[in-house]
Amino acid sequence: MKIDLLRKPAEHMDTVVIMHGEKGDFHSIEYLPDHIKNAVAVVVKQDEYDFSYQNLKSFPLVHSRQRCNIILCGVGNPHGLDPEKLRHLFALCFRDALKLGAREVFVFPGFSNPVGEVNFGHILAEAALLTAYRFDKYLSEPHGHSLEAVHLALNVKTTRHINRGILEGRIYAESTNFARDLVNEPANVIYPESLAEAAKKAALQFGFSIEVFGQDKLKRLKMDALLAVGKGSEQEPRLILMSWKGNPDPKAKTIGLVGKGLTYDSGGYCIKTPQGMVNMKNDMAGAAAVIGTFAAIATLKLKVNVLGVIAACENMISGAAYHTGDIIRSMSGKTIEVINTDAEGRLTLIDAIHYAIARERVSKVIDIATLTGAAVGALGNQIMAVLTNNEQLLEKLQLASDFTGEKIWQLPAFDPYLELIKSEIADLKNSGGPMAGAITAGLFIREFVGEKPWLHLDIAGMALKDKARGINGYGATGVGVRLLTQLLREME
């Protein structure tokens, strides 16, 4: 998709988006041809249309025998806009334009921009590419066609800032769409080995380093928690290690990103219901977020050092699968009583985290996982649950979230609840039962990060949409890519 600044109004425009605040006069919008202004004035008067926030209205216009679609988009009070509100408005317009069959959209912003020029370009490009995304490779006939170009009709003194923003936004969005593709692929296509292959391809394309460990190496490393979860599957587990060294300072620290990579989660012997299982091909959304983040930071050439770790496996049933009641010794040496084979994500994560700390000496740990139904119950599908042992790191994440619009909410890492995951016969139990499930899952993981500053992102509710809304279409959202990229930029 082409996204650019329009230097002079085009002769014919297929779809025109006019964004305007509640107050003020749209006649002053530069570049907007008079016949469109006049038509808008009529519609605004006749239909008593106001430009209140999210108020959208579209109508066709014929001029010199050519048809053009006009979309009016209410901005409300422009000073009340923040990055996410602006992104959402763009998304509404592009979704409308797509519905109208638009191939080329001309955006006329007629309001004072409260986010700065770089961010304006960034958010526009992000919204366009994220909203236009579709996973249609398995459709014999694609549903509708795609957006080919977005032109921003804006008279700015220097185009440099907007253009830099557009480039940045494109990197954020394309990395997110890459993650979406990985998550949307079903489990017969993406399994541990093919996920590792996809990560290798990305490493080559975007220019970061990668190493993949197979089953034998994992046995030698004593990653028995990961191996236990993977035992029931014909597909052997993989440990995927990605590295980006953007800071040449020999004393520079490395940040560890750990993504949950269950390419399928049947629940194991604590088997899920068909309803609960159908989307479990997406249980590697955390892993996809990490791979997508690597694509972004390598393209942006961020001056940080990052290690990405994905423990990829499948949670299945077979004569070889792990049982409830099993006691396993994780790579760290801590033993775990398996109360529930469906609480598998945390078992895979702790071996990955221990590896990152003990073998690769990461100084901070950020894990991201579709970990608990309890996080969905608590916060729904628009807010992710976050636990931490370091409030400064959380503040940075909050800043990143404020920009990317991926909402976070802190749950308490409440020490007394450690009680719930204490076992009589092992160091820990892998499930604390139905109470405070998102918290006990986080506390379980915290037992393996020691003193390292740590952020835990439970994206179980955020990874998928069953209905298009804003920048997200049906299916994977790619949540986490933009958030982690922005966070790492703040840590540069």
81, two tokens? 């806009």
Is 265 a binding residue for Mn ion by CB under 5 A? The answer is: yes
In the bound complex, which residue of the shown chain has the CB atom lying closest to Zn ion?
265
Is 351 a binding residue for ligand BES by CB under 6 A? The answer is: no
User: Residue 405's closest CA among 332, 450, 472?
Assistant: 472
In whole angstroms, the minimum distance from the beta carbon of 382 to ligand BES comes to 14
**Residue 226 in contact with residue 311, Cβ under 8 Å?**
yes
Q: Choose among ligand BES, Zn ion, Mn ion, none what residue 460 binds, the Cβ cut-off being 5 to 8 Å by kind.
A: ligand BES
In whole angstroms, the minimum distance from the beta carbon of 381 to Mn ion comes to 18
User: Residue 344's closest CA among 267, 269, 412, 413?
Assistant: 267
Q: With respect to ligand BES, which residue has the nearer C-beta, 168 or 283?
A: 283
In whole angstroms, the minimum distance from the beta carbon of 377 to ligand BES comes to 9
Binding mask 328-347 for ligand BES (x = CB under 6 A): ------------x-xxxx--
Residues 6+ apart with CB under 8 A from 34: none
In whole angstroms, the minimum distance from the beta carbon of 265 to ligand BES comes to 5
- Positions touching Zn ion (CB under 5 A) are 262, 265, 283, 345
Residue showing tokens 């008067």? 45
Q: With respect to ligand BES, which residue has the nearer C-beta, 184 or 305?
A: 184
381, two tokens? 């599908």
Q: With respect to ligand BES, which residue has the nearer C-beta, 368 or 460?
A: 460
In whole angstroms, the minimum distance from the beta carbon of 262 to Zn ion comes to 5
Stretch that binds ligand BES, among 3-11, 100-108, 194-202, 370-378 (CB under 6 A): 370-378
Q: Write b or e for each residue in 344-359: b if 16 or more Cβ atoms lie within 10 A of its Cβ, otherwise e.
A: bbbbbbbbbbbbbbee
DSSP at 26: G
Binding mask 448-467 for ligand BES (x = CB under 6 A): ------------x-------
Segment holding 476, helix H or strand E: strand 475-476
Compute the Cα dihedral for 419, 379, 463, 408 and give only its sign: negative
Q: Choose among Zn ion, Mn ion, ligand BES, none what residue 374 binds, the Cβ cut-off being 5 to 8 Å by kind.
A: ligand BES
In whole angstroms, the minimum distance from the beta carbon of 172 to Mn ion comes to 30
- Concatenated DSSP letters of 293-359: HHHHHHHHT-SSEEEEEEEEEEE--STTS--TT-EEE-TTS-EEE-S-TT--HHHHHHHHHHHHHHT
Binding mask 371-390 for ligand BES (x = CB under 6 A): xxxx-x--------------
**Angstrom distances, CA of residue 211 to CA of 181, 240, 242, 293, 472:** 22, 6, 7, 17, 32
Residue showing tokens 């253009």? 163
Residue of 180, 346, 429, 446 with catalytic role: 346
> E strands, 193-277, where?
209-213, 238-245, 254-265
User: Residue 448's closest CA among 361, 363, 340, 331?
Assistant: 331
Report how far residue 402's alpha carbon sits from residue 398's, in angstroms, rounded to the nearest whole number.
Answer: 6
Q: With respect to Mn ion, which residue has the nearer C-beta, 61 or 277?
A: 277
**Residue 337 in contact with residue 426, Cβ under 8 Å?**
yes
Among 236, 283, 337, 351, binds ligand BES (CB under 6 A): 283
Residue of 200, 222, 245, 272 with catalytic role: 272
Report how far residue 415's alpha carbon sits from residue 331's, in angstroms, rounded to the nearest whole number.
Answer: 24
Is 342 a binding residue for Mn ion by CB under 5 A? The answer is: yes
In whole angstroms, the minimum distance from the beta carbon of 315 to Zn ion comes to 7
Report how far residue 194's alpha carbon sits from residue 291's, in angstroms, rounded to the nearest whole number.
Answer: 13
Q: C-alpha angle with apex 314: 276 to 449, nearest 5 degrees?
A: 95
In whole angstroms, the minimum distance from the beta carbon of 379 to ligand BES comes to 12
364 is catalytic: no
Among 126, 265, 314, 367, binds ligand BES (CB under 6 A): 265
Report how far residue 234's alpha carbon sits from residue 317's, in angstroms, rounded to the nearest whole number.
Answer: 10
Binding mask 356-395 for Mn ion (x = CB under 5 A): ----------------------------------------
Is 431 a binding residue for ligand BES by CB under 6 A? The answer is: yes
In the bound complex, which residue of the shown chain has the CB atom lying closest to ligand BES?
373
Q: With respect to Zn ion, which residue has the nearer C-beta, 221 or 262?
A: 262
Residue showing tokens 């526009």? 124
Q: Choose among Mn ion, Zn ion, ligand BES, none what residue 341 binds, the Cβ cut-off being 5 to 8 Å by kind.
A: none
Stretch that binds ligand BES, among 228-236, 366-374, 392-400, 481-489 (CB under 6 A): 366-374
346 is catalytic: yes
Q: With respect to Zn ion, which residue has the nearer C-beta, 262 or 306?
A: 262
Distance of CA 157 to the CA centre of its chain: 34
Show which residues are catalytic.
272, 346
Site residues for ligand BES per CB under 6 A: 265, 283, 340, 342-345, 370-374, 376, 431, 437, 460
